[in-house]
């Protein structure tokens, strides 16, 4: 499990000479790998959790979203606090909370304790994910930030891609609780290594200012209300007060947050730095990509196990192509950006991602693992090619003193978009599934009683309860809803690809090495 971050640590050690010790890089790489891993490892475990706790899709979504909401809400405060009070100290705090949350999740006797454990993990990930990159960016020369971002993105993207594979192995061999238990063991190794090898921040990086606690609280409240309301779209129309009521409250809290930030002497982030191009355009892309991908891929994961019949191990193995392409292309992406510009690089990457999603939307009950693996590989190639360049182009434009705050803000936008995407795309899928089930289930005696389980994709449970014929019809209905959601996701990413080219233009493009203005990198060293 540590082999991948160790490989990336070796690449970083060879290419980025500025950090004080190689062991510090290794510790941060492993920690970041776990943060990314726990964002995706749940996908393979969800069907097993669903069977053990007998819960619906709403509860399963919150087991995923709790991690995202907590991490997103605290990413900006942790980034700003790290800039002012010391990044290493807060990183260690976050690592400890992450380990505790992993233990709570591994021992959870029911869905509510599991969601609480996932929220604690999210708190820890908010500190670790934000501050690790900020510590590294502050430790390297500005002309090496692009290389660092590419390699670091390979760690996070690779963790997300390898999550289903590692989760599949662990769930098949040891059960779903092991996907959290393994974190406790690894963090017991990472925390002492960080304490010993990562130096304390120098006094120049610190400030006596306080963090905007009120702003952080308003941000957290707004996310909980908006995501909570949208998640109820699965069983209620938007006209229902149980849906629009929380959403309206959340939007009012957002308005209060905007007004509060204008007057705050210690805002959550450096808003002046956020306005520096190409960061606004980057945020647009993050919103589009985060929404359409997170929601669609959660549904796809349930589909391949509960309808197509893949085992957890096979479901994880089909993601290997995506993992491989992410690893290969993430370090190359910023280098390509310097040749053809940020707009074209991101546009090509997003177009490939859309092609993979369109391929996944053609799945049928007879689709095999090789086809799913191929489409995921195409999608992974697009993400690996396009998104690291976007991150590098944004971070290179940020003043060094604000790297922590801006890094946290970018993580925040990505996570908020993913949370909203899970809720919204889940609602779209649920609507389509319900319509298909209503149209085709007239021969099933207790069809109305099975609706919630059909929407949740609990096809094996329907087979046990109502027989093979009901399970077949339910599986077909669920397939219709998920493939429709994947198709919508594909169109959303394709729109982002088209928009990214004029939005980002030739930013990041540099003269050829012969002009003596940029140093090429030999990736084969």
Per-residue pLDDT band for 100 (boundaries 50, 70, 90) equals very high
Does residue 417 surpass a pLDDT of 50? yes
**Cα–Cα distance between 337 and 391 in angstroms, integer?**
11
Does residue 254 surpass a pLDDT of 50? yes
Who has greater pLDDT, 372 or 51?
A: 372
Beta strands in 262-384 (DSSP E): none
Question: Mean pLDDT for the chain?
Answer: 78
Q: Say if residue 278 is exposed, middle or buried (CB neighbours under 10 Å; 0-12, 13-18, 19+).
A: buried
**Cα–Cα distance between 286 and 413 in angstroms, integer?**
7
| Secondary structure letter of residue 403 according to DSSP | H
**Cα–Cα distance between 104 and 88 in angstroms, integer?**
25
Who has greater pLDDT, 477 or 24?
A: 477
Per-residue pLDDT tens over the stretch 58-73: 788 888 888 888 887 7
Q: Which range has the top average pLDDT, 149-163, 213-227, 318-332, 350-364?
A: 350-364
Lowest mean pLDDT among 6-15, 26-35, 418-427: 6-15
Q: Say if residue 439 is exposed, middle or buried (CB neighbours under 10 Å; 0-12, 13-18, 19+).
A: exposed
Lowest mean pLDDT among 64-78, 208-222, 452-466: 208-222
**Cα–Cα distance between 251 and 267 in angstroms, integer?**
19
Please report the DSSP string for 110-122 in residue order: SHHHHHHHHHHHH
Who has greater pLDDT, 414 or 515?
A: 414
The structure tokens listed for 415 are 């996570």
Report the candidate in 191, 49, 40, 66 with the shortest Cα–Cα distance to residue 121.
66
Sign of CA dihedral 308, 310, 315, 318: negative
**Cα–Cα distance between 39 and 201 in angstroms, integer?**
28
pTM value is 0.72
For 307-329, b where at least 16 C-beta lie within 10 A, e where not — what string? bbebebbbbbbbbbbbbbbbbeb
What pLDDT, on a 0 to 100 scale, did the predictor assign at position 204? 44
**Cα–Cα distance between 65 and 418 in angstroms, integer?**
8
């Amino acid at each position: 499990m540590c082999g991948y971050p160790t490989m990336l640590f070796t690449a970083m050690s060879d290419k980025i000479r500025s950090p004080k010790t190689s062991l510090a890089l290794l510790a941060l790489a492993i920690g970041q790998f776990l943060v990314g891993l726990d964002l995706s490892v749940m996908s393979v475990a969800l069907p097993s959790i669903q069977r053990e706790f007998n819960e619906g899709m709403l509860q399963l979504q919150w087991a995923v979203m709790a991690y995202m909401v907590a991490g997103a809400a605290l990413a900006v405060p942790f980034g700003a606090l790290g800039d002012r009070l010391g990044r290493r100290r807060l990183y260690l705090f976050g690592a400890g909370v992450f380990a505790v949350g992993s233990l709570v999740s591994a021992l959870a006797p029911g869905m509510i304790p599991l969601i609480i454990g996932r929220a604690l993990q999210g708190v820890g990930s908010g500190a670790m994910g934000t501050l690790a990159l900020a510590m590294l960016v502050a430790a390297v020369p500005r002309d090496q930030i692009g290389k660092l971002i590419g390699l670091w993105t390979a760690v996070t993207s690779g963790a997300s891609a390898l999550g289903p594979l590692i989760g599949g192995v662990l769930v098949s061999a040891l059960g779903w609780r092991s996907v959290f238990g393994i974190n406790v063991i690894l963090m017991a190794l990472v925390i002492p290594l960080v304490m010993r090898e990562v130096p304390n921040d120098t006094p120049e990086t610190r400030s006596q200012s306080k963090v905007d606690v009120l702003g952080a609280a308003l941000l957290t409240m707004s996310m909980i209300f908006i995501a909570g309301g949208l998640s109820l779209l699965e069983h209620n129309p938007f006209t229902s007060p149980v849906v629009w009521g929380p959403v309206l409250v959340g939007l009012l809290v957002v308005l209060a947050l905007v007004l509060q930030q204008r007057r705050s002497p210690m805002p959550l982030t450096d808003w002046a730095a956020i306005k520096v191009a190409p960061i606004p355009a980057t945020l647009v892309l993050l919103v589009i990509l985060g929404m359409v991908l997170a929601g669609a891929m959660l549904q796809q994961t349930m589909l391949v196990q509960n309808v197509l019949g893949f085992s957890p191990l096979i479901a994880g193995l089909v993601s290997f192509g995506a993992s491989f392409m992410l690893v290969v292309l993430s370090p190359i992406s910023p280098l390509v950006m310097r040749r053809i510009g940020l707009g074209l690089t991101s546009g090509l990457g997003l177009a490939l991602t859309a092609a993979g999603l369109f391929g996944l939307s053609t799945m049928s009950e007879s689709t095999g693992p090789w086809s799913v693996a191929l489409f995921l590989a195409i999608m992974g190639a697009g993400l690996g090619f396009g998104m690291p360049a976007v991150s590098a182009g944004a971070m290179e434009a940020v003043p060094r003193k604000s790297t922590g705050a801006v890094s946290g803000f970018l993580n925040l936008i990505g996570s908020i978009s993913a949370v909203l995407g899970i809720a919204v795309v889940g609602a779209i899928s649920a609507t389509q599934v319900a319509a298909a089930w209503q149209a085709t289930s007239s021969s099933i005696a207790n069809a109305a009683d099975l609706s919630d389980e059909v929407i949740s994709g609990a096809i094996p449970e329907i087979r046990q309860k109502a027989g093979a014929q009901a399970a077949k019809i339910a599986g077909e209905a669920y397939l219709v809803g998920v493939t429709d959601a994947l198709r919508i996701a594909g169109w959303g990413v394709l729109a982002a690809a088209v928009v990214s080219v004029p939005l980002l233009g030739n930013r990041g493009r540099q003269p050829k090495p012969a002009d003596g203005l940029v140093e090429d990198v030999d990736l084969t060293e």
